[in-house]
Structure 1
Amino acid sequence: MLLIECPHCGPRDENEFHYGGQAGIAYPTGEVTDAEWAAYVFLRDNPKGWFRERWFHVHGCRTWFAAERHTVTHEIRTLP
């Protein structure tokens, strides 16, 4: 079980949150090819170490926020 620090509600169980994927991905602008669109939708980093993610506090303040999760230890730290 993960304990996620919501910036508004404090530490909460992971069951209160919805994972929103990798943070910081820019939406494509203008015309894009099918291959470029597929890369935007499906291809994400898979690092060993700290990874920026988006989380939504579904069963709390209903706020999206960014956090970093260590992909080996699952330690989570909230970003400002």
Structure 2
Amino acid sequence: MQLIECPWCGSREETEFHYGGQAHVAYPENPADLSDEEWAHYVFFRSNPKGTFAERWYHSAGCRRWFNALRDTATYRFHGVYRPDEQKPALP
């Protein structure tokens, strides 16, 4: 079982968390002006790189808070976690 570091609760088993997608995706400035195709692009199209990637995670069985993590998508290794109000750390 892999341990994931929650910024508020510390290390916990991975079964306590849920993946929330790509981090740092800005909400559209004028959502009412978007076409259906633009909305679809905002909702469904995300980066899917091989390597270190900034993601959102939810501690569903703990503090029930969202946080961001830098994780390698090829090895599943977490390189760091940070709160949403903190700056993204430098990539390793």
TM-score by length of 2: 0.80
Q: Is there any run of 5+ residues in structure 1 with no aligned partner, and where? A: none
Query: Does the 8 A contact of 1:48 with 1:71 survive in 2?
Result: yes
Quote the residue 1:32 is aligned against: 34
Structure 2 residue aligned with 1:78: 81
- Work out the CA distance in 2 between the residues paired with 1:61 and 1:37: 31
- What is the rounded CA distance, in whole Å, between the counterparts of 1:62 and 1:73 in structure 2? 26
The offset of 1:11, in angstroms, is 1.0
In the alignment, the residues of structure 1 paired with residue 18 and residue 3 of structure 2 have an alpha-carbon distance, to the nearest angstrom, of: 13
Structure 1 runs of 4+ aligned residues shifted over 3 Å read none
Partner of 2:71: 69
Q: Which runs of 5+ in 2 are unaligned?
A: 87-92
Q: Distance in 2 between matches of 1:74 and 1:63?
A: 21
Whole-Å separation in 1 of the counterparts to 2:77 and 2:27: 28
Deviation at 1:40, TM superposition (A): 0.4
Equivalent-residue separation in structure 2 for 1:42 and 1:49 (angstroms): 21
CA distance in 2 between counterparts of 1:66 and 1:25 reads 12
Q: RMSD in angstroms over aligned alpha carbons?
A: 1.2
Distance (whole Å) between structure 2 residues aligned to residue 7 and residue 38 of structure 1: 32
For the residue of structure 2 that corresponds to 1:39, the secondary structure is helix
Q: 1:2–1:74: 8 Å Cα contact kept in structure 2?
A: no
Aligned length: 80
Give 2:42's aligned amino acid.
Y
